[in-house]
Every structure is written in structure tokens, then in C-alpha cells.
Chain A
């Protein structure tokens, strides 16, 4: 519910309407052809107006978020910056959403990047089965994953799923050679407590391949995206996590002997 990329939840392109960009050209008005339109070409905007996506909106008011790309398309784009990766020891990170929900694409793309000598990383929530994650491991140079909360019941109340698979996968990740970065999004009311950070830090303390642990403070920047997608934003009234709070949480985690950064 705090995700900044709600457009990735459906796993396919979806329509978005931004009223402030509309110039009133009328090209998305329903017409005779609307009767034959596919469902994903129709959107009812917040004012109740039906809009027919015909690919003709130039203002960007009515647009499809997301596009279909092949692994080759990705390579063609990212390889333009190859020299920047080489000089900075950087590379390409597959993120989301959750990349394992597009598993084959992720696997092929990572393979193509590796074949071209590009450093690869993935960001994942570790909810996939281990046997799938294991397939990707030889293609990854760095894994970044979230651990949000050690208490499974609380985890389920806030995310909809328990954390047992996540923790199990995290343990297995720690036994691999691939370096890992562990992150925790700090969400008020959910896990923005020193004890919560301490227990996570204690869990990952002995991970030999841990590069560092990172805390990300919640902020409401994603709110507008929910609005234009017509999705309720349940974090509307959530407070911003202040600098002092983040510092205390960092200290609590670091006290477990884990290098802890604030993003």
C-alpha cells in the first residue's frame, strides 16, 4: 500500500488520465468505434467521463503506462551507457514491482546483459519459490531484497502475506556467493520502531555476503500515481518519517553490529 510504483501491480500496461494535461482536443471522446474497443482501451476518469484510448493523445493526459519490450530492446537501450557502468562499477538493476512475476523475461534479460559483460542486480521481495530464484542466481552480481518485519502476523496484516518464505529465502541468499543488500522500507504504524529494526538487524547480522543494510523512509510521493490510476491510496494520512526517527532506527540496527545506512 506504500509502493511508489502502483502501475506495476497488474503486470500489464494500464491506462492513466491526468486532467491537468488535457487540452480538450476531443480525440479520446467515445465514438462509434468505442463499441468495438477492447476493455483495456477504455478508462473512466475521476470525473466520470469515459475516455477511449486510441493512441492519439499528444498531451500525455491519457496514456498507457508500461509497454511491451523484449530482452533485446532492453539491451539496446542500456548498452548506450556501457562506459558509465564500467567507470563507476555500476550496471543494470531489474526492479519493479516484482521481477519474479515476469520470470522468463527477467531470466532472458539478465542472461543477455551478462553475455555483454554488464554488471547485473535485481531488487526482489523474495516471495518467489527458491527453486526459481536459484535459476537467476548465476546471472546476478548483486541481490537487493526487502525484509519489512520479523513478526509474521504483523507482516501479514500489512502486506497480505506472512514472511516465512521471505525469511527462508533470505537465509538461503546469505549462503550464496552473490553479494546482497538488505532494505527495510520504514512505514509509520507498521515497522517504524527501534525494536523492529533491531530484530531485523539481528537476523541478518551473520550474513557473510551482506554489503550493507539500508533503511528507506516512507514518503507520500507515490500518491499522485494512485490518483491518476484511479486506485485508492491508503497511506494518504500517514505521517512522514522524520530525520530524527530515522537516525534512532539506524542506531538501533547498527547496535547489532550491522553497517546500516539511511537512503
Chain B
């Protein structure tokens, strides 16, 4: 039996034919091909150079400021006054991360739900329309979201902030200092321009990228496993839980991190909404927060070169943070992709 299964090779009559190697081919490119390859490679080099220059430029410009105060002081100081050499990004960093976290907490369930809705529930032209709508949402300018957040959302959501802080104020992040629940006419300005409102607006801006990454990874769940689950008697939700979600886990994590990268770098919407402060404020419902990007947009006009260098240092911190998040995200997505392909 085993002898039958073995591969047998025919005997070549020529001696030494088993050592045959591929016939060497000499590859001569035409001049036009050489030019084409050279020019297109040149394009790649230019693009790479631009992208690398961004990092180099920020680093070089930032060193003046960072070397003056030291990196530890720069990361821990809750103040921004380059004139007196007292500046740091502690409050900016906390604000940026808090806004991103609020945005993710809101955007994650909505994105997972919408992505599953598009891949599992919607069919045909309805699905294509939904995909287009989500893509369109990504193209809406951030200033439009900012205007909407400032003029429409802020007045509408303040009562909700009040309700949240009244009933859940015992949780530290929901506490609002100086708020008096007994006051029948509470001061609404305590609740405006807060981390929470900025986070809600940013969540709308990161939903499209998260949804489309998740949708892509959910739709790649293999059809065989889907039908297998149905054949074993699973309902649609049972199939989603046992097949689609496990297969899409990499895409979910990667998409969330991509969304986080966007949330960290969002500028104009936050710039319009927040009331910039320089103390760490973890009470997300309370007036006053800050973010690196909004801070840069607010202070770019500072005349003196050293202040500019300080801003560059803040920009560098933001750049490094988003790049770490993004490279991690694309590594996770790439790995989940390659796994899915080998299954299919």
C-alpha cells in the first residue's frame, strides 16, 4: 500500500539528467522599462522622504525646548508658559487620552453594531447604500462636525451631563466640582465645553474608519464556517457569535486602534468645543479640558522661536503617540488578514 502511494519518478535515459537546473535566462529590459522603473521608484523615494522629513523636522525643532527643561519635566508639568521655562504636556496628554477614551467607549459598540448590521443583516442595494453612507461620513469635514457639536449638541446634551453627574457623581470621573444637585436652577455652564462633549463629537468622526475596518474583517469570515454553524442549528446571532466575531477579532482590535489614532489627532472639532485649561481634569463632565492638537491650533501664532519649539515638542509627542498606535493597529490587522486568507 505504502509503496503504491510513493511518488515514483521516471528514469531519465540521459546520465546526470536529475541534476537538471532551470535554464538560465538573461533578462534585458528595454530603455522605456528602465526609465519607467527608475521614475516610479523616484516617486516612492520622494513620498518616503516627505513622510520621514515630517518626523525629522519635528524632532529637530523640538530638541531646543525639550533640552531646556528636560524630558521628565516636559512630561509632568501641568502648565504652559514657555516664557518662564515652565511648560509641559501632562494636562494636554491626559486631556487628549481622555477625549479619545470617551470617543472610543461611544464609538466601539456603535461601530461593531453597524459593521455587523451591514455584513449580516442588510442585503443587496441596502447594504451598498449603507457602505456608501459610512464612507460619506468619513468625508464630512471636521469643521462641520465641530460646528454641529458647538451649536447643536452642546445645549442638547448638557441636561444629560447633569443627570449623569447627579446620579453617578459618586464615581470620580462623573463628579462635577461645585455642582449642587439640590439647586433647582443649576448652572449649566459647569457642564459645557467638557471632555465628554468633545468625546461625543470625536466619536462620530471615528465611527466611519472603525466601521469600515470591522466590516471588512467581518465579511472575510469564511462562508464554510458560517454555513456549518447554520447547519448545526445556530440562529443568526449564534452564528455571529461563534464564527463572525472570533474571525473578526483582529479587525475589531485593529479598527479600534485606528480609530484611537484618529481621535488622538483630531483638532478642529475639539478646538471649537473645549475650554482650554492646564490642570489635569479627570472629571469628564466638568467644564474645561485640553488636547495637544487643539492646543497647537490655539497657540501657533506665538511670536518667539522658543515658544514655537515648545509647541513643536508637543506636536512631536502627538506624532509619536499616533504613529505607535497606528503601526500597532496595522500590524494587528495585517496579521488577522493573513490568518483569514490561509483559512479560506
Interaction A to B: no
B interface list, Cβ under 8 A from A: none
A interface list, Cβ under 8 A from B: none
